[in-house]
Amino acid sequence: MNDINKITLIGTGLIGASLGLAIKKFIPNIEIIGFDLDKKNLTYSKNIRAIDQTALSIEDSVMDSGLVILSVPIREMKDIFLQIKDVVRKNCIISDTGSTKKDVLAWSEEIFSNDVNFVGGHPMAGGETSGPELARSDLFEGRKYCVISSSSSSDFAVNSLVDIIERINAVPFFIDPDEHDSLVAGISHLPHLLSVFLVNTTVSDNAWKDLNRLAATGYESVSRLASGDVIMHKDICLTNQKHICLWLDKLVGEINYLKDILEKDPNNSTELIEYFSNAKKERDKWLSNFNQKHGNNKIIEDSTQVGMIQYLLGSVILKNIKRLFKRSSD
């Protein structure tokens, strides 16, 4: 590998610890230093051998490392950049795993000197829960790992990061920072907000006591992402306001479209079936393609769980949709 024999992981939650496990599995000769303000996370990560050594300070953690990867809330990154800028070695590569990129790259260009290489990163993996207890060495296998170059990124730095990404069996995906933030707002940030909307809408209703008693697998499935890290999602919203608001406008348009269908004709089953059938068709096609490409990390759906469409429409309409698709395929 490109001249890197020591890596520092700042942040040893799910992503940081999983990176450590994956690197130790596929590149065992690399020494990994860990730093985390949460000492429980740090100790646990060392116990599962996601890191080799812990550092007493953030400055000590980065000394002599060829690559430093930050897996921390986005709005903490600027302060960390300021803390390490004078102690990282010349030509050090610095990367991150944050969910938004435009602000992070701007901070890196403002703070780091020309002999430090910043290359943004964002693995499209993870979950609504965090912590090294859930870390897996195969978390990134087959998954896209976004690579976002900055003005300070040398070819050596980009190639070195890509080499590690490929060796942990992830798939490098080169993308512009603004385009990255726009796309992930739709497929990552908006789903979390939908989950939050559902929970806040239902628990604020006067009938929540009874709703709470009746809620089951459908509610659990759709509300799952609301259990995500609050600080992380606060930072995501505050560093990607423009794109999230654009996607929220699209969502409001969809809500109003469905509301208009229901209000203009309460018995308009044809238009409803067409609307929901299109969503089912597109989602099933996406899921099939996803699972074909992702092998061990494919999505296995529990057949006992009620899906979004059944949760919203009930089993009768869902059966009619299935009959419609069966007739069209005969």
At 312, which CATH number? 1.10.3660.10
Same domain as 169, residue 194: no
Same domain as 54, residue 117: yes
Q: How far apart are CA 165 and CA 23, in angstroms?
A: 9
Domain end residue (candidates: 153, 175, 197):
175
282: containing domain = 179-329
- Which residues lie across from 191 on neighbouring strands? none
Same domain as 48, residue 150: yes
Same domain as 275, residue 240: yes
Q: How far apart are CA 121 and CA 93, in angstroms?
A: 12
- 149 in a structural domain: yes
Which pLDDT belongs to residue 329? Answer: 44
- 95 in a structural domain: yes
Domain end residue (candidates: 150, 175, 200):
175
- Provide, rounded to the nearest whole percent, the portion of the chain with pLDDT above 70: 88
- For 112-146, the pLDDT digits (tens) are 988 899 999 999 998 777 899 999 999 999 999 99
Which pLDDT belongs to residue 250? Answer: 97
- 220 in a structural domain: yes
Domain end residue (candidates: 117, 140, 175):
175
Which pLDDT belongs to residue 280? Answer: 96
Query: Does the pTM exceed 0.75?
Result: yes
Which pLDDT belongs to residue 313? Answer: 44
Same domain as 208, residue 127: no
Same domain as 188, residue 138: no
Q: List the CATH number of the domain containing 62.
A: 3.40.50.720
- For 150-199, the pLDDT digits (tens) are 888 899 999 999 999 999 999 999 999 999 999 999 999 999 999 999 99
Same domain as 228, residue 138: no
Same domain as 94, residue 201: no
Same domain as 171, residue 143: yes
- 65 in a structural domain: yes
Same domain as 125, residue 218: no
> Can you read off the two tokens belonging to residue 52?
């080799």
- 1 in a structural domain: no
- Exposure string for 136-175, b = 16+ CB within 10 A, e = fewer: ebbbbbbbbbbbbbbebbeeebbebbbebbeebbbbbbeb
- 30 in a structural domain: yes
Same domain as 14, residue 157: yes
When divided into structural domains, the chain yields a total of 2
Which pLDDT belongs to residue 310? Answer: 42
- For 67-76, the pLDDT digits (tens) are 999 999 999 9
| H, E, C per residue of the chain | CCCCCEEEEECCCHHHHHHHHHHHHHCCCCEEEEECCCHHHHHHHHHCCCCCEECCCHHHHHCCCCEEEECCCHHHHHHHHHHHCCCCCCCCEEEECCCCCHHHHHHHHHHCCCCCEEEEEEECCCCCCCCHHHCCCCCCCCCEEEEEECCCCCHHHHHHHHHHHHHCCCEEEECCHHHHHHHHHHHHHHHHHHHHHHHHHHHCCCCHHHHHHHCCHHHHHHHHHHHCCHHHHHHHHHHCHHHHHHHHHHHHHHHHHHHHHHHHCCCCHHHHHHHHHHHHHHHHHHHHHHHHHHHHHCCCCCCCCCCHHHHHHCHHHHHHHHHHHHHHHC
Same domain as 273, residue 252: yes
